[in-house]
Amino acid sequence: GGVDGGAESGPVTPATQIACGFWRACVLRSDGTVSCWGDAAPDLPKGTFTKIAVGVSVCGLRATGEMECWGWGTFDGKAQPGRYSDLSINMQSGCGTKIDGSIDCWYWNGGGGIESEPPPPVPVRDVVAGGNPCGLHITDSAPICWGAS
């Protein structure tokens, strides 16, 4: 397991990102390692990450841009293929900005699988996963929400 109970001995590696989700919080440290706390905190994968996102599951981006998801929940072991520069997940949906600038959004279909849902063609400044399964893109003008609901 890689669950960090919060009490550390020795030098503490500074955090570069904190992400909170359902029942847990995780921190990305300056050395690329991840620590998580809370109920149902996931076993942590080996290696380093450049960004993390926490919903029910935890997903992280490797230096290559590849996504890896772990922990109990919707996306456990079900990372989206491709290379990403940004990602956001929540309870049942997620969105990511791919290295080429395109946006990919996906959601739990309730039947055991993950389905993709393309966003509307708008200029994107930031990507945030919203409700079930609503993706929210913040553009230069106003937030845009879409999804199967």
Query: What would the pLDDT profile of 37-93 be if each residue is shown by its tens digit?
Result: 887 555 788 899 999 998 878 889 999 999 988 876 656 666 777 899 988 888 777
Enter the pTM of the model: 0.76
* Sheet-wide strand order for 126-129: 126-129, 134-138, 143-147
Q: Give the residues across from 143 on adjacent strands.
A: 138
Q: Give the residues across from 145 on adjacent strands.
A: 136
Q: Which residue has the tokens 């009490």?
A: 7
Closest CA to 22 of 69, 55, 60, 71: 55
Question: Strands, DSSP E only, in 21-92?
Answer: 24-29, 34-38, 51-54, 58-61, 67-70, 84-89
Query: What would the pLDDT profile of 36-48 be if each residue is shown by its tens digit?
Result: 888 755 578 889 9
